[in-house]
Structure 1
Amino acid sequence: MISASGDGPNAKRVTLEDVAAQAGVSRALVSIVIRNAPGASAETRKRVLEAADALGYKPDMRARMLARGRSRHIGTVFGMIGLNFQFNTLLLDGLYVAAARHGYELILSAVTKSRDEIRAVETLQGFRPDAVIMVDPPNPAPVLAGKLPVVAIGWSVDDPAVDVVRTDDHMGMAQAVNYLAERGHRRIVHIDGGHGEVARARRAGYVAAMTAIGCQAQIRVISGGETQMEGYFAARALLDDPVLPTAVIAFNDEMAVAVVESLVHAGYRVPQDVSVIGWDNSALSKLPHTRLTTVAQDTEEMSRLAIERAVARIEGKPAEPREVVLRPELMIRATTGAARDE
């Protein structure tokens, strides 16, 4: 049934029957006029539209789209912990903007410690989304793959039913490691991002880059996470080691800033004693007192491509290649320099 509601949460719901009574015609004629379908005279159309306007009738567009088989909703599943760092916040904002351009609305559902991906997806299904976008969830294989269009942002998925938009984490890590190696660094430590798929990819990229420059013996990964608090704990592990590394590459900017602050509080200089590199090129990295060297990702482009692929799959249009891998860029600022003389 096509229906409408007045303004405000407590307003009386205005129905087709109300409009029909006001115009003195049948409900079927009102439906024909509202849908702009043939079958009503010009005089009847004018009377029905005037009645609808007088009553404040507004067609329920969601009901219309459901009747046509679409909800104009794109579900988005994201990790709640991940939302604590600025990259995912920018990504979600970009998704809202890109979805609106195509006439779609985002429906968000979070994965938390007490709410797994299955529960998050069940919530989305109540809104009958036309597609789902996954933003770095903990599950490497999206549960809705093959059931409706799914786009994963940030990590590689083997399933051919899932589109992927991600940054080349191996390339970004190689850029960071090679830049440090050119400045004499060999004891380069990586503070990882935990157990997620993006963290795994960056960890593997770090190991590959260190091996490529002949520093297999210097490979060291410290367990980290995504938040500044986890960065502080990781920095304590660094400071407890009798041999301080000359450089640190953190999983994201939040972690990197926490490492810088911990080193400075302990009496070390950045970058003279230890160089630090973050990841994401967030607003935090650009602050005047931070000026953090970081690996940049283009969140606007990632969001745009993800929405375009979701919409293309919804409409049955081609969207190739299935996996789009964007090139990162190392942004060199104040927290990196030559390795200290030992």
Structure 2
Amino acid sequence: MSTRGGEAALPKRRATLSDVAARAGVSRALVSIVIRDAPGASAATRERVMRAADELGYRPDVRAQMLARSRSKLIGTVFGMSGTFHFDVLDGLYTAAADRGYELILSALTQSRDENRAVESLQDFRFDALIMLGPATPKPVLAGKVPLVVVGWHVDDPDVDVVRTSDADGMTMAVEHLVQRGHRRIVHVDGGEGAVADSRRDGFLAAMRTQGLADESRVLSGGLTQLEGYTAARTLLDDPELPTAVVAFNDEVAVSILEAFMHAGYRVPQDISIIGWDNSAVSKLPHIRLTTVAQDPRRMAKLAIDRAITRVEGARIDEREQVLEPILMVRATTGPARS
């Protein structure tokens, strides 16, 4: 080891991005852009940064780059616990993720556990991307911070990818089906608050206007659960002007309305027609056979997983929103309007 003045010579310190930034007179972030050959720096700036890097003998830290590029192969998933549709999507997410070599980390929403708490509990896992099945809010909390896909509702934020079924088309199909069978007094029992409820409510009102039935349309506050469906049904039964048809927010609400009317002595569909939404398992039970607007939870799940991984891999995406067409499954709960 060479010495000077009786002291051992210290090894030369490795030049850092901050050193290059100081020498070139630019920000550290701009140096990172140039070193990674990413878009966002002019030709003159690139030349100045590279010259400073050469003068300082800067070399990228390969180990740090490899660490930064390493992936957890985990996808965080926030989901609601009301209704069966989310559970059908979850099953599809597990399958689609496994096919791509990924695992899911789940966090549930409950009445006492909101979006912030649900997301916070996931962040210790260093997930690569986040999929949200709820809550249906216009601004998810991690938008722009991680690759984020929402399933089921529209989000304006350009940092959020969307996989959803067209609520407008689904409502158009449901209303047209009823009008073709002579129905005019049609009620929509909505999903309460939230982006999906708003979208289906707007779709119903637009479909009724298109059919020239704006004055006949009625929206009744409902919710997501069977109990909320039953409460809405009791309100309808107490009204002296009974509708001839109901379009419910989801199948759980629709089945509760069906059962409440039947217990009150009405016949379905002879006295009232009922349409649900989701084509869930309960809608297919032989003693129910509910007419319903069908979504495809497995296809939605696969699209969501593929989109999340595409974002993680940094591939180009032209359209951030993927909208699927629903199908009206006509079964035993709709028929001609009563006289």
Same fold (TM over 0.5): yes
Moved more, 68-77 or 126-135: 68-77
User: Which residue is 2:123 aligned to?
Assistant: 125
- How far did residue 297 of structure 1 move? 0.2
Aligned ranges 1:155-304 → 2 under 5 Å: 155-304=153-302
Please state whether the residue corresponding to 1:217 is helix, strand or coil: coil
Q: Which amino acid aligns with 1:303?
A: A
- Structure 1 residue 111: Cα displacement: 2.2
TM-score after normalising by structure 2: 0.79
Deviations 1:219-275 (A, max 9, x none): 211111111111111100000100110000000111111111111110111000100
Name the structure 2 match of 1:31.
Answer: none
Partners of 2:318 and 2:266 in 1: CA distance: 49
Rounded Cα–Cα distance in structure 2 between residues aligned with 1:287 and 1:112:
27
Asked if 1 retains the 8 angstrom alpha-carbon contact of 2:97 and 2:305, the reply is yes
- Note the 1:33-182 alignment, pairs <5 A: 68-79=69-80, 83-182=81-180
Q: Match of 1:84, SS?
A: coil
SS of the residue corresponding to residue 121 of structure 2 reads helix
Q: Deviations over 1:140-186 (max 9, x none)?
A: 21111111100010000111111100000000001000110011100
Q: Kindly state the Cα deviation for residue 70 of structure 1 after the two structures are TM-superposed.
A: 1.3
Distance 1:274 1:228, change over 3 A: same
Q: Secondary structure at the match of 1:267?
A: coil
Contact 2:85 2:280 in 1 (8 A): yes
Contact 2:275 2:334 in 1 (8 A): yes
Alignment gaps of 5+ in structure 2: 1-65
Where 2:97 maps in the other structure, the secondary structure is helix
Shift of 1:138: 4.2
Change beyond 3 A, Cα 1:332–1:66: farther
**Does the aligned pair in 2 maintain the 1:136–1:198 contact within 8 Å?**
no
Cα distance between partner residues in 1 of 2:187 and 2:77: 34
Partner of 2:10: none
Match of 1:36 in 2: none
In 2, the alpha carbon distance for the partners of 1:218 and 1:262 equals: 23
- 1:66 is displaced (CA, Å) by 6.8
1:78 is displaced (CA, Å) by 1.5
CA contact (8 A) 2:183 2:337 kept: yes
Kindly state the Cα deviation for residue 84 of structure 1 after the two structures are TM-superposed: 3.1
Q: Which moved more, 1:270-279 or 1:120-129?
A: 120-129
Which one-letter code corresponds to 1:273 in the other structure? D
Q: Which has the larger radius of gyration?
A: 2
Partner deviation per Cα, 1:5-25 (whole Å, 9 max, x = no partner): xxxxxxxxxxxxxxxxxxxxx
Contact kept in structure 2, 1:136 and 1:196, CA below 8 Å: no
Structure 2: which amino acid aligns with 1:75? Answer: G
The TM-score with structure 1 as length reference comes to 0.78
Measured after TM superposition, the shift of residue 318 of structure 1 is 2.3
Structure 1 distance, partners of 2:288, 2:132, is: 31
Deviations 1:94-123 (A, max 9, x none): 011111111111111122222221121111
In 2, are the aligned partners of 1:185 and 1:247 still within 8 Å (CA)? yes
SS in 1 for 2:178: helix
The AA in structure 2 aligned to 1:176 is A
